[in-house]
Structure 1
Amino acid sequence: MDTPNPRIAIPWSDLPPELLDTIAKRLAAAIDVRRFRAVCRSWRSSTPPYKFPTIELPFFNNCQSSGRKHSGAYFILTQRIVYRIQLPNSKNPDFWLVKLEDSDNGKVRIINPVTHRKIEVPPAVQMPKVLNTLDFHVSEVCKGYALRYVNPSNQSDDYYDFRYAKKVAFSANAETGEYVVMIIDLRSRLLRITSDRKKWTLFHGSVGSYNFAAAKFYDVATVKGRLCATDASGDIWAFDSKFGWRISSYDGDGAFKRRMVELCDGELALVEEMGKVDGPCDLIFQVKQPFVDVAVYALSKLLKKWIDIKAMHGGIVVVGDDCSFSIPIKELNAARIFYTDRYSFLQSEILAATGDYTCFECDCREGVCTCILELETVAADDEVANDYVKCVFDGFYGQNIGVYESETGETGTALMFPEYASIFWPPPAWLSHR
């Protein structure tokens, strides 16, 4: 006679509420919460839908803007999540990268995964009104953050996409609700605000001869669970609630941008963008050819120093405005690095006598940014392979994305390589056919 199994099988739908609550509290990713709620009715009723908390932050006290009044204005911290969507159980390696931001009306905004700009969906593009995550393999790639401007006395959309901070990082304790927001402002200074003291504070203090308040910062992000920042000199700093300490440094010089990113193998890397313009620029015409060189340095765990990577492993690296990430792709022999390439030229008063020009990053919306209004500038735009590509990528054209191929060293606008840009836009046909 068979001995009965002493364990009693309990249906998933009959799990006790306290156990469901314990499981739900451990789900940090929005997609995991959605999958959890999709199991059955009892699980769905036990857990509310994922919603990033509403965090209101004060407007900057000494904000240099376009001269318009900001009385009563404040910021709302918004979260953008990058998803990788694939067909389930398919040998097709194709995937789609999409960045979504929840809006106040319950809908979502589609944000360019590389830039911070909204993608306007043309009428000809078929987008499903509802995406059933059970029909696809959906994974969360990374999270980015931004400051959304709110002014009850001025409802104009002119301010919605204007960047009041070059970069925003966020860290929170899920149990206590305490949080820290760190930003790099338009003057490249590092500021922070905490849940217990809602006031923007310039990160100051010194370590030896290093002065935080005088430093020029390029990036701030959460790296391996810690808030970190990198500056113009190549130093990387990690921060606790009180101060910071140096992780590593290298002799970096001449970069317009420097971003931290974790590579596919877990290695920390710095991706730099440097100008290729040697002489004066003719401001009468728009700049069409890309003028950005890309360099990647990885922090070798063995050597404890930065080494230049000439040929990276197969995958893509996205060096974005609000978040950076990497995805391994075994079908690729080398890495493709996507970055923003909207730059402008200006002739400064100091250099005007010699006829030289300087370059700066300006990706604010025309009509809002004072540098567009007051200075003679020109922005690099997307160069396309042909008119057909421009038609296919309608809605994506003008987003100013560059791509660098690590094996060949080729660089150019993403739409010069449509086979590369297709991971971002347009949405794959199979997305609407499920």
Structure 2
Amino acid sequence: MSDRNTLYQWANLPKELLQKIGKHLDCRIDVYRFRAVCTSWRSSVSPSYRQSTRIPLKLPPPIFADAFLSPVTICRLEQVEDNFSSSSSNSMAWLTKVEESTVGDMQLLMPLSNRQIKALSWPVPKKTLNLLNFRLVELAKACTLKRAKGRPVLGIDKMVPFPNTNLSNDVSSSDFGLFAIFHEGKLGYWRNGDENWNLLDDRNFHYDDIIVYKGQLYVIDRCGTVSWIDSSLNLIQYSPPLYGCGSKKNLVESCGDLYVVDRYLDGERRTWQGNEDEHINQYLLYLVRNYRRSRAKTVDVKVYKLDEDWGTWVDVKTLDDRVFVVGNECCFSFSTKEFDGWDGNFIYFNDPSDEDCRGELSGYVGHVFRLSDRSIGKATHFLGNSQISKLPS
């Protein structure tokens, strides 16, 4: 049986069965992907189904913020030939970030930032994207903390919810918590309802990144030591120190292996200068007093892979057809075989100097590092592949 006939049969499933399947969709992005299959699937589930509930989180000292969790999904947006096509042309594929806005709409964002994509730079007849002609393929998921008006919670550098499940249902549970790196290097845990953040390490205040790798939480400090967090919130050393001389280290999973992207900066990183026992009610005054914007820029990048069998670090000279994206919310990788016109062996990132005093990324263009000749440039090609305004209502 041909793929076309198989997909035709899927498109003609009984309506009651489609509605039953729809009840098991976990989040809004899955709803949009479900509705994009064909007209019958589209009509069986409302686009507002599984709209996230904005449950407020009162983050205690030293963060001082009323916030909510904002899930985002990194996707490959593919144009399909027709409603029953099982494949798409790589020449018509874009990388984008999908997020639910504060008013409940799904919007497309720049992959390296939270800037909403508004301008159109490729021929789509309407500003609203018709998902019957496009397919969203999930590449990675992440989650951030946002304030009521959509701004990021300043002070938190990286955050991972735990358990990492359906956020809209589990966030009200007392078992739900957040692991976060805050104030430029402190590693803490907060369980919903707790009056304070709990430090997981009261001696090392120089953690750089946190990641979920093979279902387990891992962190890395500025010496390049990777540790995993067990169920009792203990840090268990997982790797020897890297002792790389870079200023900023990020963890990236690629093809099942764990990598470290070590960036060298030409200046000091942003530092936290506040007194954590000082309760300041005026949020803007709190920011001005305690944060100093960094002007540092990346001048070199090195990549290492962890050899888990031997417990050693391997200096990586090439990523072959892979691309690494080092973002504020998550770090991920993908193959250029999925996108026509992309070259592998690149690392895309933002510099500390790209952030303003409120933690917002000030520009639309990120940066790219080419491992082959160790050159750094503007990532205009990277962001230029995602110029679509919004998803349909």
Taking structure 1 as the reference length, the TM-score comes to 0.65
> What is the match of residue 142 of structure 2?
144
Report the CA distance between 1:83 and its aligned residue: 1.6
Q: In structure 1, how many angstroms separate the alpha carbons of the residues matched to 2:267 and 2:74?
A: 33
Please state how far the C-alpha of 1:185 moved relative to its aligned partner. 1.1
Aligned counterpart, 1:201:
197
Counterpart of 1:134, as a letter, is L
From the CA coordinates, give the structure whose radius of gyration is larger.
1
Could you tell me how far apart the structure 2 residues matched to 1:337 and 1:108 are? Answer: 28
Gaps (5+ residues) in structure 1? 1-8, 64-69, 151-156, 205-210, 279-286, 344-361, 370-395
Task: Determine which of 97, 111, 119 is the counterpart of 1:99.
Answer: 97
Show the counterpart of 2:226. 236
> Does residue 317 of structure 2 align to residue 321 of structure 1?
no
Matched residue type, 2:160: A
Q: 1:409 aligns with which of 371, 374, 378?
A: 374
Distance (whole Å) between structure 2 residues aligned to residue 180 and residue 324 of structure 1 = 21
Residues 313 and 135 of structure 1: is their aligned pair in 2 closer, same or farther, counting only changes over 3 Å? same
How high is the sequence identity, in percent, across the aligned residues?
21
Distance 1:259 1:77 in 2: 22
Q: 1:193 to 1:53 in 2, by over 3 A?
A: farther
Q: Is the counterpart of residue 87 in structure 1 residue 74 in structure 2?
A: no
| Contact 1:317-1:336 within 8 A present in 2 as well | yes
Change (3 A) 1:231 1:212: farther
Preserved CA contact (<8 Å) 1:98 1:111: yes
CA distance in structure 1 between the partners assigned to 2:127 and 2:50 by the alignment: 19
Asked whether the equivalents of residues 261 and 324 of structure 1 are also in contact (C-alpha less than 8 Å), the reply is: yes
**Which stretch of the first structure deviates more once superposed, 326-335 or 214-223?**
326-335
Instruction: Give the corresponding residue for 1:111.
Output: 109
User: Cα gap change, 1:228/1:13 in structure 2, threshold over 3 Å: closer, same or farther?
Assistant: same
* Cα shift at 1:76: 1.1
Distance in structure 2 (CA, Å) of the matches to 1:122 and 1:45: 29
Residue range with higher mean Cα deviation, 98-107 or 174-183: 174-183
Amino acid at match of 1:54: R
State the distance in 1 between where 2:96 and 2:302 align.
26
- 1:379-426 CA deviation, whole Å, 9 max, x = no partner? xxxxxxxxxxxxxxxxx9933521011222221232xxx4444334x4
Structure 1 match to 2:6: none
> What letter is aligned with 1:234?
G
| 1:140 CA drift (Å) | 1.3
Once the two structures are TM-superposed, the CA of residue 167 in structure 1 deviates from its matched residue by 0.9
User: Counterpart of 1:34 in 2: which secondary structure?
Assistant: helix
Distance in 1 (alpha carbons) for counterparts of 2:315 and 2:376 = 17
Letter in 2 for 1:201: W
Q: Distance in 2 between matches of 1:184 and 1:254?
A: 21
Using the TM superposition, give the Cα deviation of residue 59 of structure 1 relative to its aligned residue in structure 2, in angstroms: 3.1
Structure 1 stretches of 4+ with a deviation exceeding 6 A read: 123-127
Structure 1 pair 223–294 and aligned structure 2 pair: CA distance change class (3 A):
same
* C-alpha distance in structure 1 between counterparts of 2:382 and 2:99, whole Å: 24
Does structure 2 conserve the Cα–Cα contact (< 8 Å) formed by 1:82 and 1:113?
Answer: yes
Are residues 1:293 and 2:314 paired? no
Mapped partners of 2:89, 2:366: distance in 1? 29
Residue 48 of structure 1 and its aligned partner are, at CA, apart by 7.0
Residues 1:342 and 1:126: Cα distance change in structure 2 (over 3 Å): farther
CA distance in 2, matches of 1:74, 1:93: 43
Q: Distance in 1 between matches of 2:262 and 2:190?
A: 28
AA in 2 matched with 1:188: G
- Corresponding residue of 2:5: none
**TM-score of the two chains, using structure 2 as the length reference:** 0.72
Q: How many residues align?
A: 337
Pick the aligned partner of 1:160 from 124, 129, 151: 151
Letter aligned with residue 168 of structure 1: M
Equivalent AA in structure 2 for residue 137 of structure 1: R
CA shift digits 1:312-365 (9 cap, x unpaired): 12122100011111110136664111011233xxxxxxxxxxxxxxxxxx7234
Against the structure 1 CA distance between its residues 92 and 77, is the aligned structure 2 distance closer, same or farther, given a 3 Å change threshold? closer
- Aligned Cα RMSD in Å? 3.9
Q: Partners in 2 of 1:304 and 1:225 — Cα distance?
A: 20
